[in-house]
Amino acid sequence: MAQMNMIQALNSAMDIALSNDPYVVLMGEDIGYFGGVFRCTEGLQRKHGEHRVLDTPIAEGGIVATAIGMGVNGMRPVAEIQFADYIYPAFDQIVSELARLRHRSAGDFYAPITIRTPCGGGIRGGQTHSQSPEGIFTHVSGIKVVMPSNPYDAKGMLLSAIEDDDPVVFFEPKRIYNGPFDGDPDKPARPWSTHPKGEVPEGHYTVPIGKAEIVRQGNDATIITYGTMVHVAEAAAASSGIDAEIIDVRSMAPLDVDTLRTSVQKTGRCVIVHEATRFGGYGAELSATVQEECFWHLEAPIQRVTGWDTPYPHAFEWEYFPGQKRIINALRAVLEA
């Protein structure tokens, strides 16, 4: 075991994938010689060569399109989109092409590619470095969508994604690259070395896609969340003394319905938390699923705590960010109902 932050864990996963499979290639803006703006690919071009770790032109649609072509021709590309906010120029290639290729060719063609992209706010990035667009992708049939919340899962899930024959959009919550974050920006930053999930095996292992994890056992209510908000929810449970069960969804599509059902049937109360906007967001899918699976066990209406339905405002990100206080208010609401 080694101590790793999320950046190092992702780097380790890609290093192993490049070493184990000669058909794995990395591609993206500034990822090669420089090692990426968040340093996730640092040292990998030097170690594996320029033909395996490619700096690309600034053209996200081109990156995904050429990755698809390579994937169809037997390679296993891992594409980085520098910020999730810049994934939209690739949207057509992902939605119209990547997601449907296997289906439209009746299984004869497929592209086993992974698209990594940092998401989420809290770094004073304004509206074009803060978005959480996962719900836009979960709405598309044919792509898997995941978001790890710690270094251990980041490495294991990235290896699963790369080895998966289906395309995976892999969201990385950038606010917790360097340490878990409880939602309070005034507190000193905490490193991953203080968190058990900062312990990461150096060698190969996988964390399966399609499995949620219960990160806190509890009896009073279930919090369903993922990414950065897992840590905010944990802090909210701790500071409020509410005995909440917290589920880290990890894999948004496909979704681990069993874990959700078992928990909510036990607690009878459910709060859904994500940083993305609320209207038509992924929380609505979670809420509908819980309602369908647990209606006769629910003691209170399901609550959603989310980013507001506005663009991410640069100066007011902490008013926008769904912090501990809002989660506690929602927990109280489901408990008092």
Ligand X SMILES: Cc1ncc(C[n+]2csc(CCOP(=O)(O)OP(=O)(O)O)c2C)c(N)n1
Interface with ligand X by CB under 6 A: which residues? Answer: 29, 58, 82, 86, 89
CA distance 337 to 324: 20
CA neighbours within 13 Å on the CB side: how many for 265?
A: 11
CA distance 166 to 148: 18
Q: Rounded to the nearest whole angstrom, what is the least distance from the CB of residue 280 to ligand X in the complex?
A: 24
Q: Rounded to the nearest whole angstrom, what is the least distance from the CB of residue 129 to ligand X in the complex?
A: 8
C-alpha 254: how far from chain center:
13
Q: Rounded to the nearest whole angstrom, what is the least distance from the CB of residue 312 to another protein in the complex?
A: 9
At how many degrees (to 10) do helices 151-163 and 6-20 cross?
Answer: 30
Binding at 126: pick from another protein, ligand X, none (beta carbon under 5-8 Å per type): another protein
Q: The tokens 């030097």 sit on which residue?
A: 46
Nearer to another protein, 125 or 227 (CB): 125
C-alpha 127: how far from chain center:
19
Site residues (CB under 8 A) for another protein? 29-30, 33-35, 37, 55-59, 61-62, 85-86, 88-89, 124-129, 184, 278-279, 308-311, 313-316, 318-320, 323, 325-326, 329
Q: Rounded to the nearest whole angstrom, what is the least distance from the CB of residue 148 to ligand X in the complex?
A: 23
Nearer to ligand X, 28 or 142 (CB): 28
Binding at 172: pick from another protein, ligand X, none (beta carbon under 5-8 Å per type): none
Binding at 56: pick from ligand X, another protein, none (beta carbon under 5-8 Å per type): another protein
Nearer to another protein, 129 or 250 (CB): 129
Q: Rounded to the nearest whole angstrom, what is the least distance from the CB of residue 278 to another protein in the complex?
A: 8
Whether 314 is a known active-site residue: answer no
Cβ–Cβ under 8 Å, residues 62 and 115 = no
Cβ–Cβ under 8 Å, residues 97 and 68 = yes
Nearer to another protein, 211 or 332 (CB): 332
Return the residue nearest ligand X (CB atom): 86
Please report the sign of the dihedral spanned by the C-alpha atoms of residue 75, residue 78, residue 80, residue 81: positive
Residue in 129, 195, 231, 274 annotated catalytic: 129
CA distance 283 to 201: 32
Binding at 269: pick from ligand X, another protein, none (beta carbon under 5-8 Å per type): none
Binding at 33: pick from ligand X, another protein, none (beta carbon under 5-8 Å per type): another protein
Nearer to ligand X, 58 or 288 (CB): 58
Q: Rounded to the nearest whole angstrom, what is the least distance from the CB of residue 189 to ligand X in the complex?
A: 24
Residues 6+ apart with CB under 8 A from 233: 223, 225, 244, 246, 273, 327
| DSSP labels, 260-306 | HHHHHHHH--EEEEEEEESTTSHHHHHHHHHHHHHGGG-SS--EEEE
Binding at 127: pick from another protein, ligand X, none (beta carbon under 5-8 Å per type): another protein
How far CA 192 is from CA of 90, 147, 207, in Å, comes to 32, 17, 19
* Residue 100 neighbours by CB distance under 10 Å: 14
Could you tell me what percentage of the chain is helix, strand and coil, using 3-state DSSP and rounding each to the nearest 5? Answer: 40, 20, 40
Nearer to ligand X, 42 or 199 (CB): 42
Residues designated as active site: 129
